[in-house]
Chain A
């Protein structure tokens, strides 16, 4: 599926948010079509698997449907929605830890990334390299490059200051650039 350009996406999303107060059912359906894949992609970076990421996205949509005004009144609606998904994903992870169903996926993925680095496709390699980053840096890089958010918007989404976000991004990129150099050549 071809992703919608960022400017069009932002404009379409804002239209959905405006219509959310008047016709929430229709606006939510349109919002799902517009954002679901992006939100699941982001939630996977937290939960580590798609089913949990989809649950997190569903939980976020439920919350928005229950109180549509919260999103409609937000200064930056898209970072607000990302933050809602993130909170849901973190809740799912916490619940998973409480119930003892721990998915030790990140470490396993990192190890397999080390062993299969040469044979994977470029995109897969990059994704695996991204997963070797500390989680807080990983999130920032994902939001910066995949969701094309500004540092201020990332700060809004993660509940951090702009400077903290920028620092994490800088450290992450320093690490990634060393790993990505062979792929660029």
Chain B
């Protein structure tokens, strides 16, 4: 790429002087100065007014933003506690029975803090041997129901598997 700048001489030749001298200034129309300056004064005033309105608008917008944020935060702190809707207990229980358990129903057989202080005894009053699976879950009616359901499912599985043809 060639750079044209170094090849251009400074305007100093007679041709350049001719060009420079040809640039005489025009005589302006009478009254143009007053007309232009009057228009300028109006524009200055108009521009100032627009600036003031813009500043006022920005302040109002900022205040509104602060108000909205403050209202949002204050309403977030005092959210009224909504009471739970009355449930149909019977239907809830039926749902519980139908829903299969997500996890295996046996609990951890380790020592439970609540049971730690109590020592179970036999008919003679001798303490029973500790350890083994906790029987605590058996006391819960829901767990019993779940055990029964699992047994039923296992039985159905066995029946269905028996019906399948041997390959």
Contacts and interface: CB of A to CB of B under 8 A. Distances in A.
A61 B36 contact: yes
A109 to B, nearest CB: 14
Interface in B6-31: 7-8, 11, 14-16, 18-26, 28-29
A146 B19 CA distance: 8
A37 B39 contact: no
A37 B26 contact: yes
A40 B28 contact: yes
A123 B36 contact: no
Interface residues on B, range: 20 to 34
A65 B39 contact: yes
A101 interface: no
Contacts of A162: 5
Interface residues on A, range: 35 or more
Contacts of B109: none
Given A37-B25, A66-B47, A68-B44, A32 B4 contact: no
A163 B21 CA distance: 26
Nearest to A43: B26
Nearest to B11: A145
A66 B33 CA distance: 17
Contacts of B24: 123
Task: Report, nearest first, the 7 A-B pairs whose CB atoms are least far apart.
Answer: A146-B23, A126-B22, A65-B43, A65-B40, A37-B25, A166-B4, A66-B43
19 contacts: A1-B25, A24-B44, A25-B41, A37-B28, A41-B25, A61-B40, A62-B40, A65-B40, A65-B43, A66-B47, A122-B22, A126-B22, A141-B19, A145-B16, A145-B23, A162-B5, A166-B4, A173-B15, A184-B18
Given A29-B37, A32-B37, A37-B25, 9 more contacts: A37-B26, A50-B29, A58-B32, A61-B40, A62-B43, A65-B44, A66-B44, A166-B8, A181-B15
Interface of A: 1, 3, 24-25, 28-29, 32-33, 36-38, 40-41, 44, 50-51, 53-54, 57-58, 61-68, 122-124, 126-127, 130, 141-142, 144-146, 151, 162-163, 166-167, 169-170, 173, 176-177, 180-181, 183-184
